[in-house]
Amino acid sequence: MEKTKGNGRRDVLVVSRREKSADPAFYYQFTVNEDNRLGDLFWCDGGARADYAVFGDVLAFDATYRTNSYRKPFVVLLGINHHRRTIVYGFALLSDETKQTYTWLLETFLAAMDRKQPKTIITDGDKAMRKAISKKFPQAKHRLCCWHIGRNAQANVNKEFTSDFRRCMLRPYTQERFEKKWKEIVLQHSVESHEWVVKMYSEKTMWAEAYLRGHFFGGMRSTQPKSVSGCGSLHL
């Protein structure tokens, strides 16, 4: 979906109506703020809706994009198909990153996808998004993005710890084996009391392969798309 010049709300309506005229299954919803300007916007095309009907057991949220001409948080909703290619289910421009706004996004997404609930979800760990997911997708298994966790490990601790941490995170250990390995690496790197390490251990069921075994993620461990197909894009 291309952006036109001028008033944001008017442009969205013009372009969205044009897209829907070309693709009757094209779906969009938006909110208007107190200044009568565009608040939140979600859109997806007919191909994305058809893909979700088939492959929608796994849903990932890539909310790492921050810079665009609307100066709004930009979220991409992703999945994976039978060729193990990343596919796009929809896009959203949001007014902020609060629980209320994310709840609106998830409710709008459900409406677009005929109320089909995902079985597993991958996110970057944003607290507001977590709360919204717990409310709208209460049965889904929530996994934290391995790419974000690895980057945070290096930023909060050090490179040496991160290398051992990644192995502990990604290897298909039994839970007993994981616990043994975890104790070994925290002692080895003297981080038993490190605030970030303690916090991550308390959330181990959301990132350690040992505690995620038996849940279908289609091979996805990250919200970062590799080879993407499907769904029209908005030029930002």
Distances in Å between the alpha carbon of 44 and those of 2, 31, 76, 91, 113?
Answer: 13, 16, 10, 7, 10
Full-model pTM: 0.85
Question: Six-digit token pair at 6?
Answer: 């001028």
Q: Tell me whether residue 81 is exposed, middle or buried, using C-beta atoms within 10 angstroms of its C-beta: 0 to 12, 13 to 18, 19 or more.
A: middle
What end-to-end distance do the CA atoms of the chain give, in Å?
A: 10
Amino acid at 44: C
pLDDT digits (tens, 9 = 90+) for 15-43: 888 888 899 999 999 998 888 888 899 99
pLDDT digits (tens, 9 = 90+) for 164-181: 999 999 999 999 999 999
How would CATH label the architecture of 8-144+221-229?
2-Layer Sandwich (3.30)
- Residue-level pLDDT at 228: 43
Q: Provide block-wise average pLDDT over 10 residues at a time, the chain (236 residues).
A: 53 82 92 86 96 97 68 89 94 93 97 97 92 95 95 94 96 97 97 97 97 94 64 42
Question: Six-digit token pair at 85?
Answer: 């290619």
Hey, where are the domains in the chain?
Answer: 8-144+221-229, 146-212
Say how many CA atoms lie within 13 Å of 78 toward its Cβ.
28
Question: Six-digit token pair at 82?
Answer: 């039978």
- How long, in residues, is the chain? 236
Residue with tokens 């502990």: 168
pLDDT digits (tens, 9 = 90+) for 54-73: 999 999 999 866 655 566 78
Q: 189 in helix, strand or coil? A: coil
CA angle 156, 98, 152 (to 5 degrees): 15
Give the torsion sign (CA, 92, 98, 101, 107): positive
Query: Any bridge partners for residue 144, and if so which?
Result: 123
Burial string for 209-233 (b: 16+ CB within 10 Å, else e) reads: bbbbeeeebbebbbbbbeeeebbbe
With beta carbons less than 8 A apart as the criterion, state whether 32 and 195 touch.
no
